[in-house]
Amino acid sequence: MIDLRSDTLTKPTPEMLEAILAAPLGDDDRTHELGRGEDPTVNELEDHAARITGKQAAVLVPSGCMANTAAVLAQVKPGSTLLVDEQQHLMISEKYLFDPVLGRMSPQTYRHDEHGQPNLGDIAAALDAGGIDLICVENSHNYAGGAAITCERLAAIHELAQAHGVPVHMDGARLFNAALALGVDVSELCQHVDTLMFCLSKGLSAPVGSIVCGDQDTILEVRRMRKALGGAMRQAGVIAAPGIYALRHTVERLAEDHANARAFADAIADLERTHIVGDVVTNIVVIDVSDITDDPLAYCERAAERGLIIRPVMKRYIRFVFYRGITREDALNAAAIVRELDAGL
Ligand SMILES: *Cc1c(COP(=O)(O)O)cnc(C)c1O
**0.85 cut: is pTM over it?**
yes
Quick check: 200 and 208 in contact, CB under 8 A?
A: yes
Span 136-173, pLDDT tens digits: 999 999 999 999 999 999 999 999 999 999 999 999 99
First-last CA distance in the chain: 19
Span 324-339, pLDDT tens digits: 999 999 999 999 999 9
159: how many CB neighbours lie within 10 A of its CB? 11
Separation CA 304–CA 16 (nearest Å):
31
Residue among 139, 199, 239, 311 whose CB has most ligand 1 atoms within 8 A, to mutate: 199
Residue closest by Cα to atom 12 of ligand 1 = 173
Quick check: 224 and 59 in contact, CB under 8 A?
A: no
Quick check: 61 and 226 in contact, CB under 8 A?
A: yes
Topology of domain 253-344 in CATH is Aspartate Aminotransferase, domain 1 (3.90.1150)
Separation CA 66–CA 314 (nearest Å):
22
The domain locations on the chain are 10-249, 253-344
Residue among 92, 95, 141, 171 whose CB has most ligand 1 atoms within 8 A, to mutate: 171
Q: What pLDDT sits at residue 339?
A: 98
Span 308-318, pLDDT tens digits: 999 999 888 99
Where does the pLDDT of residue 345 fall: very low under 50, low under 70, confident under 90, or very high at 90 and above?
confident
Q: Could you tell me what percent of the chain has a pLDDT over 70? A: 100
User: 210 CA distance to ligand 1 centroid (A)?
Assistant: 9
Among the listed residues 266, 261, 265, 338, the one whose alpha carbon sits nearest the alpha carbon of residue 302 = 338
Span 262-295, pLDDT tens digits: 999 999 999 999 999 999 999 999 999 999 999 9
Topology of domain 10-249 in CATH is Aspartate Aminotransferase; domain 2 (3.40.640)
Question: Which residues surround ligand 1 with Cβ inside 6 Å?
Answer: 8, 63-65, 68, 89, 138, 142, 171, 173, 199, 201, 210
Among the listed residues 324, 326, 327, 301, the one whose alpha carbon sits nearest the alpha carbon of residue 312 = 301
DSSP state of 141: B
CA distances to 60, 62, 107, 209, 220 from 92, in Å? 24, 20, 11, 21, 28
Evaluated on CA atoms 60, 15, 261, 339, the torsion sign reads negative
Span 17-63, pLDDT tens digits: 999 999 999 999 999 988 999 999 999 999 999 999 999 999 999 99
C-alpha angle with apex 138: 135 to 143, nearest 5 degrees? 130
Residue 135 has phi, psi (to 5 degrees) of -110, 135
Quick check: 15 and 245 in contact, CB under 8 A?
A: yes
Among the listed residues 314, 186, 205, the one whose alpha carbon sits nearest the alpha carbon of residue 250 = 205
Facing residues of 275 across strands? 288
